[in-house]
Amino acid sequence: MSPREGERYDRGRELMERILGAETAARTLAGFDEISPDFGTYVVEAGFADVYGREALSLPERQLINIAVLTAIGGAEPQLALHMRAALNVGVAAEKIVETVFHTALYAGHPRAGNGLAVAREVLGQRSDEDEPR
């Protein structure tokens, strides 16, 4: 069996596609494949199958946690944008994304929250543009 076969990988890949969207999931894994295919397998199996697959928290709750943590640590703006888009994909309202980032100001500081809000402005602006009738 190859590293990307089996029930665990399949469960993780299905969740990854549900959360990120099939195109983003494929693009993410292709990026890992260029440097470390094993890391992509690890992300799918450990991250998505084993952690996201747990039932105590919903996918929207998990995405709000990701947004708070990534905002607080700073320096992870590409990942923050990815998880904001993922939050929208799993049904989180834009208002909750903004409020989550706002809340981090109390614990992580205003600069980190300000950076997070800048990412939210960009992501939510892109989403609004995509939702506009052409």
Beta carbons of 5 and 44 less than 8 angstroms apart: no
pLDDT tens digits, 71-128: 999 999 999 999 999 999 999 999 999 999 999 999 999 999 999 999 999 999 997 6
> Nearest-5° angle of CA 65, CA 47, CA 90?
50
CATH of domain 58-134: 1.20.1290.10
pLDDT tens digits, 5-37: 799 999 999 999 999 999 999 999 999 999 999
Q: Considering the entire predicted model, what is its pTM?
A: 0.89
- DSSP letter string over 5-17? -SHHHHHHHHHHH
Domain ranges of the chain: 1-56, 58-134
